Structure 1
Amino acid sequence: MTNTFKRPVAPVKIKQLHADAVIPRYARAFDAGFDLVAVEDVIILPGETAKIPTGLAFALPDGYELQVRPRSGISAKSKLRISNAPGTVDAGYRGEVCVLIDNIRTPSGESGKTCMDVSDKPVEVDREVDRHAYLIRKGDRIAQGVLAIVPIADFEVVEELDETERGAGGFGSSGVQ
């Protein structure tokens, strides 16, 4: 990739574990993330979580992580959500990167051979499913990956922490409006 914008470049090795695995690329020059693509068809029933394989394994440089994040189009158009967003792929992991996706719809109680795709459009499938099921198709862009620098913490146990304006105020401490 040509780095015409003076952004840092980290060498990332990729192994194709499946013949149809799509090598990631940045769609536009200023994009932070690259697409991760499903390598097989998966039906996700209402209330179910599915592990969607990408067919890729990564060797990240020491000091980096690969964050697996939602694609905004899928989140806006469907009831599919990445389970552990952002998911972290550690630099030491060498297995297949998969994306955990939740179908947050509740069962409709109606079944047939039609469900929804990632654009929330009806699609025919080869088996009976709840109509609130989703089909992830082989070749669908299901998530985005973002390479991030990860500093290592140097933990120090102390008796007291410094005071701040917020203090120990937690959830909702700044109000809702």
Structure 2
Amino acid sequence: MNIKIINKSNHALPSYETIASAGMDLRANLSESRILKPLERSIVGTGLFIELPIGFEAQVRPRSGLAAKEGITVLNAPGTIDADYRGEIGVILVNLSNEEFEIVNGERIAQLVISKHERAEWTVVESLNETVRGEGGFGSTGKN
């Protein structure tokens, strides 16, 4: 699939690290580094603008290493970029650690996953088909 992209950063385009990778790394596009204090959130620009085909979305997801090692994650994960959005891709980072974290220009801060989706149409009914689970909500299927 071919996607139109404008790159206003000084960084290479996002790319897959391996043949089996689902996501491409997004990099911070900053004029100067930024400190993210514990429990603080910040929108970090990437300098990237994309044009997705209708029927596709781009999902912004955390990088597992950054989350595990530093406590830095994407606040609204996964963030959705709709096919009709033409603004800069921004990443809402949050610091869930007890230490300050410095975001530097060019740092890999998130992953971008391109995903196909369907559009739903609602059919209003009076009842739904029965299932074994029924109306069992959060935790109703047990821990095992």
The TM-score bracket by the shorter chain reads over 0.9
Partner of 2:134: 167
- Which of these residues, 69, 76, 100, is aligned with residue 92 of structure 2? 100
Once the two structures are TM-superposed, the CA of residue 22 in structure 1 deviates from its matched residue by 3.1
Q: How many angstroms apart in 1 are the aligned matches of 2:135 and 2:26?
A: 39
Residue 72 (structure 2) pairs with residue 80 (structure 1): yes
Q: How many angstroms apart in 2 are the aligned matches of 1:73 and 1:39?
A: 20
Partner of 2:24: 34
Partner of 1:14: 5
Partner of 1:112: none
Letter in 2 for 1:68: V
Partner of 2:14: 24
Asked if the contact 2:35/2:103 (under 8 Å) is kept, the reply is: yes
Count of aligned pairs between the two proteins: 142
Asked if the contact 1:17/1:96 (under 8 Å) is kept, the reply is: no
Higher relative contact order (CA 8 A, sep 6+): 2
Q: How many angstroms apart in 1 are the aligned matches of 2:29 and 2:12?
A: 8
Q: Which has the larger radius of gyration?
A: 1
Q: How many angstroms apart in 1 are the aligned matches of 2:141 and 2:122?
A: 28
Letter in 2 for 1:171: F
- Greater share of strand: 1
- Which of these residues, 137, 149, 154, is aligned with residue 121 of structure 2? 154
Asked if the contact 1:42/1:52 (under 8 Å) is kept, the reply is: no
Partner of 1:143: 110
Once the two structures are TM-superposed, the CA of residue 42 in structure 1 deviates from its matched residue by 2.0
Identity of aligned residues (%): 44
Runs of 5+ consecutive residues of structure 1 not aligned to the other structure: 1-9, 107-131
Partner of 1:58: 50
SS of structure 2 residue aligned to 1:96:
coil
Structure 1 length-normalised TM: 0.77
Letter in 2 for 1:45: K
Q: How many angstroms apart in 2 are the aligned matches of 1:29 and 1:105?
A: 32
Q: How many angstroms apart in 2 are the aligned matches of 1:21 and 1:55?
A: 9
Once the two structures are TM-superposed, the CA of residue 47 in structure 1 deviates from its matched residue by 1.3
Q: How many angstroms apart in 1 are the aligned matches of 2:66 and 2:118?
A: 31
Could you say what the CA RMSD is over the residues aligned between the two structures, in angstroms?
Answer: 1.2
Q: How many angstroms apart in 1 are the aligned matches of 2:73 and 2:137?
A: 26
Structure 2 length-normalised TM: 0.93
Letter in 1 for 2:6: K
Letter in 2 for 1:96: E
Q: How many angstroms apart in 1 are the aligned matches of 2:69 and 2:109?
A: 13
